[in-house]
A and B are shown apart, each in its own frame.
Chain A
Amino acid sequence: MIKKFVYSQKVAPYVFVLPFIIIFLIFWSYPLVNSFVMSFQDRMLGQDPKWVGEANYSKLFTDKVFLTAIKNSVVYMLGTLVLLIPFPMLFAVMINSKLMLGREFFKSSFFLPALTSVAVAGTIFRLTFGEMDGSLMNSFLGLFGVEPTKFLKDAEWSMAALLILACWRWTGVNMLYYLSGLKNIDNDYYEAASIDGASAWQKFRSITMPLLKPTTIYVTTISVYAGLAMFTESLMMFNGNNSPKNIGLTIVGYLYRQGIEKNKLGYAAAVGIVLLVIAMIINLTQLKLSGMFKKEED
């Protein structure tokens, strides 16, 4: 009976996805529903919850600090998209080329930063971009006669530092995604193009880029989420959640400040729900525009 059940072609797929569904329900749906309920409450650990209606939301949309956090997260997310999609794609194509020397060496050295813990990387970057004359960046710029800069007290510089950290860490990972995408492209296309007299750029534009589209969609989707959910990098870079003039505050940082540091769980839940909505809107729009849903309908 059990054997028949397990071997049944109809049931097997459901059995295989069951662990995912269970985990999804326990660790995603339940907290999500709970957060949604909490976002309508004035709730503190150790105290009885009070229903406050949509008060948390109406407060949230007039909260300048929250708007700063959204702005920072969105700018960071867009920055990572601009930097972490074209360049890894280009590097992957270069490394994939037979003309490239030391391919394995480049592959592993690009990937190595992803194995470093964020805490360590963030701390190293904090020291690198320190405001003292002796910190790495300032001593380097000092060689060219540039005055010491207070990098982490300046909004543009801080964002640049965070983006450099993101590039340092994630270029290798995205490159690997693209490398695996490139492996799936049949060499015949390139041969045919060569016979037709296509240049390297034409081949890249007309063969490589379109055929890498599924990879690009995947990388964009995870980058949107990762960009909006960034927290630890900023926490480490600014040595805490309170950066000067909140230049390093992210949406998750604000959620942490309200929920964990101030014990205002209801308000923090509202922040979380807004983050979810923003991420869903951006991702669904992006998937719609890139035609991901069309294929399924076909």
Chain B
Amino acid sequence: MKKRITLISIVTVLMMSLVLSACSKSSSSSTETQQLGADAGENATEMSFWTFVDLHGKHLDKMLGLWNQQNPDKQIKLNVTVMPYDDMHNKLLLAVTSGKGAPDIADIELGQFPKFLEGDNVPLESLNDVFAPYKDVVVPSRVDIYTKADQVYGFDYHVGATLAFYNTEILEQAGVDYKTIKTWEDYKQAGIKVYEKTGKYLGTADTSATWQASLLLAQQNADFTDENGNPKVNSPEMIKAFEMLVDLQKNNVIHTIPGGQPDTEEAKGEYNKGNYASALMPEWYMSRFVNEMKDLKGKYAIAPLPVFEEGNPRSVGLGGTGTVVTKTGKDVQLAKEFVAFAKLSKEATTEIWNTLGFDPINMEVWKDEAVTKNPDNEYVQYFKTNAFDTLNEIKDEIRAIKSVKASPTIGNVLNTVTLNAIFEDGQDVKEALDEAQAAIEQELK
């Protein structure tokens, strides 16, 4: 009898746990939207937020907690929806331009931003009034990229200063000290050694992103477009940049990577396996290391980028995501105030570093060692060197690449056709860039 009762109770417990686990699974997977600030009061305004980066939602969650604490009369509940990059931008563009179905707040990636500013009727709210109090403490170039006709439409998460991330374990095997890499020639010699000693590549030849092209242009004080915003992708500076990269590729210093560039799933797998010894990427790539390349903890050091000649600017702000307020939102003013608080305030910028590991555009934080060197911070723990040591060293050398009307087209042609033609098929650099220029002009006609 006793046995039977024990058996029945075990079966019951098992069944209950099965049923419960099934419930919890279905409730988490059936909705892709997650509500934040559920503990806010009954009078809280409910808003929606679209993003393509899961981590951005986590940051806003923290900021929402702070905002609701500090503003009991203006509390907010936020419905966060995370979608894939292309999907989100396409849906958002349709929603804001048609005036139906747009969220209150959204993230728009820098390369996509010009599409939202086209024409006379910009479907986004101007943020000038909420920006005014922060005007003096943020990096101006990171606000200009989201500005049209003196109206600011988006606030970024980061400066995105480009840095060099070196795998010191591999470099030591090859007898290379990353601190001695100052110029591209040094980088080339180091890469040759790495390939000879370890059979691994020092860096990547990117075929689906223009990070490398951008940083090499910025180092020559050049751009993809001229002062009128017209494309000039076959400029002498571009040719010099790509010929240098092709030379690196021929010497087995860099090599194409699955996925086409370091910030893809396949490429992170390659890094995790230790097949590439460096990534020359914007500062926000740190968050990819910490969250998606955990095996590499303690192996990577951060340094300034190599340059053509010493004295060239050593960095450029790349990538970026502007958080915007749409015109069709429920309470536009409240949304604007919250976005400014969540992106620009001292609290926000501290959290941007703590949660996201980004270099915030409010530079007050850069000098605050209690924040930047906090030993509990996972970004401080992961890397062999402190990011802000390098960032502060190069902070006056961070150039910008313009994002204009032609930019999405330039990016599309280079990323789909030109980079593949150069690095995969070995097409002549000048020829490939001339073809790209012609294709871009044709597309923009």
Contacts and interface: CB of A to CB of B under 8 A. Distances in A.
Contacts of B269: 132
A244 B414 CA distance: 10
B416 A47 contact: no
A47 B120 contact: yes
Contacts of A243: 416
A131 B257 CA distance: 9
Contacts of B443: 63, 65
A261 B443 CA distance: 14
A251 B118 CA distance: 25
A124 B218 CA distance: 40
B90 interface: yes
Interface in B96-122: 96-99, 115, 118-121
A240 B88 CA distance: 13
A123 interface: no
* Contact residues of B: prevailing secondary structure: helix
A218 B32 CA distance: 42
A213 interface: no
Nearest to A135: B258
B150 interface: no
Nearest to B84: A240
Q: Which of B96, B269, B412 has the most CB of A within 10 A?
A: B412
Interface residues of A, number: 25
A240 to B, nearest CB: 5
A245 B86 CA distance: 18
A263 B417 contact: no
Contacts of A263: 93, 97, 115, 118
Nearest to B93: A263
B424 A244 contact: yes
Contact of B115 (A47, A65, A132, A262): A262
Interface string B262-291: 000010011000000000000000000000
Nearest to B266: A132
A150 B445 CA distance: 34
Contacts of A262: 115, 408
Contact of A244 (B97, B121, B420, B439): B420
A122 interface: no
Nearest to B269: A132
Given A44-B97, A150-B424, A245-B420, 16 more contacts: A44-B118, A45-B94, A45-B97, A47-B118, A65-B439, A131-B258, A132-B269, A153-B420, A242-B415, A243-B416, A244-B260, A244-B420, A245-B416, A260-B90, A263-B93, A263-B118
17 contacts: A45-B94, A45-B97, A45-B98, A46-B99, A47-B121, A62-B442, A131-B258, A132-B266, A153-B207, A244-B416, A246-B416, A260-B94, A261-B86, A261-B90, A261-B93, A263-B93, A263-B118
Interface of A: 44-47, 59, 62-65, 130-132, 150, 153, 240-246, 260-263
